[in-house]
Amino acid sequence: MSATLLIGGRWREGALPPLPVFNPATQEVLAHTADASAHDVDAAVASAAAAFPAWAARSGRERAALLHRAAERFRAVHLEEAAVLLTRENGKPLSDSRKELLYSADVIDFYADEARRITGTHFSGDMGGTHSFVWKEPVGVVGAIVPYTFPVDLLAWKLGPGLAAGCTFVVKPSELAPLSVLRFVQAFLDAGLPEGVINVVTGGGAAGAALVEHPLVSKIAFTGSVDTGRRIGEAAARQFKRTTLELGGSAPCIVFADSDIRTAAAAALRRCFSHTGQICISVNRIFVERPAFAAFVEYFSVAAARLHVTADGVAEPNADMGPMISAAAVDKVAAHVADAQALGARAVLGGHRLTDGAYARGHFYAPTVLTGVTPAMRVMREETFGPVAPLMPFDSRDEALALANDTPYGLAAYVYTRDLETAFACARGLRCGGIGINVNDITDIRAPFGGMKHSGIGRELGEPGLDAYLEHKHIRLNAGGR
């Protein structure tokens, strides 16, 4: 499967030695993908640039029809194969893979409809004698760089609005999980997407850097780590490229004593351990009002002990967790837990790697619950990005907000309370881009998604997600020519 470069509507192999794609549960090689060279990236960008004028000139109705066909083709033909590939390369159980892929198709359908609603405005001149028109036009060639976590869904968040707006793309999937992305892109080709509108360059960081630096790329849409996002932002700024950067998170969950503690514990559990904690909006830190702390710890720990970690997410599609993506990811989790324990934290549950039996060959870490944590510990200050839940009591709303905001990140937060005034006070006081109140998911296709502080720049989804791919052009007309 090394013919994984899509350039000008044709799949090609690369000149460099191909890269292996591993199953993180077994470390077996699933496939090999091309490692795009700078020459390959240049060819892909040139193809996107050549396709841009004709694609941008198509009507919203035409673009909408094609996007709807692609979404339907993906559901009907490619979804099951892509779900198995996603589980094998990424580690999430098959039911979660299917959920991601169905949502991805829904995102494409949503923005297909939005393609017909892109309108400008006009108004008479403020001083008289002129008339102004404001047009919205596509930004140009977009470099879309997506991570292993939700490789198809996070690509759909970029392709959907960008293609609806009239942009063309060069896509760089994660070298750790590119296979499901290739099946997703194939659905667009099957639907009749013109050659060059979507191009794909597989490979490592060098391919991504070449894409970011390319002078014909007008915008970079990236989801990934803060460190990589910082480098992309710096490189893009030198060429005045537009960027959308969705970066790391360290989401707090604040549980007040007046909430339904069992419900809050179950919701926080799902948001902590889903996809083995490898989600940018995973709950990283749990703060519970002191009168409810003991009960919460009991409910949460008992439920966490029942989580089933599978070494085969296809055979056990409804398992709760799978492997982590790599040995380095497990090492980071182990280092965070060791640091917490050295500073006085207690592992109520877990706190160790899983290495026996079916887990012996893969990258597994046990669901872990920590108490006795303090803000000085790495699990409370950094993004652990793994199956670790640190629990800490608080005594007042102001203290809870101060603890929750004590982080460079600002992507998501969650609050559980029955008191409406408390809910809105927390919504106002939390410095992050999305807040779930009595719900453990902040995403909705119609609403903006993105972060504050080090969690990124710009928004995806909703109307802002479409606007991010449009330039606003002002035409001021003096019809009389005087």
Active site residues: 246, 280
DSSP 461: S
Residue 179 corresponds to which tokens in the numbers above?
A: 């296979």
Supply the angle between the helices 179-190 and 94-114 in degrees, to the nearest 10.
40
Amino acid at 373: V
Residue 429 corresponds to which tokens in the numbers above?
A: 């006081």
**Contact status, residue 10 vs residue 345, Cβ threshold 8 Å:** no
**Contact status, residue 300 vs residue 268, Cβ threshold 8 Å:** yes
Q: How many CB atoms lie within 10 A of CB 457?
A: 16
Q: Please count the CA atoms within 13 angstroms of the CA of 283 that sit on its side-chain side.
A: 30
Residue 178 corresponds to which tokens in the numbers above?
A: 């590119």
Distance from the first to the final alpha carbon of the chain:
64
| Phi, psi angles (nearest 5°) of residue 240 | 55, 35
Give the residue among 177, 178, 141 at the shortest CA–CA distance from 158. Answer: 141
Give the residue among 206, 210, 190 at the shortest CA–CA distance from 198. Answer: 190
Separation CA 214–CA 268 (nearest Å) = 42
**Cβ-Cβ contacts under 8 Å for 459 (sequence gap 6 or more):** 244, 433, 448, 449, 450, 465, 468
Separation CA 186–CA 73 (nearest Å) = 9
| Phi, psi angles (nearest 5°) of residue 379 | -65, -20
Separation CA 481–CA 466 (nearest Å) = 36
Separation CA 428–CA 437 (nearest Å) = 12
Do you know the residue count of the chain? 482
Residue 361 corresponds to which tokens in the numbers above?
A: 């060959």
Alpha-carbon dihedral 90, 95, 97, 98, rounded to 10 degrees: 160
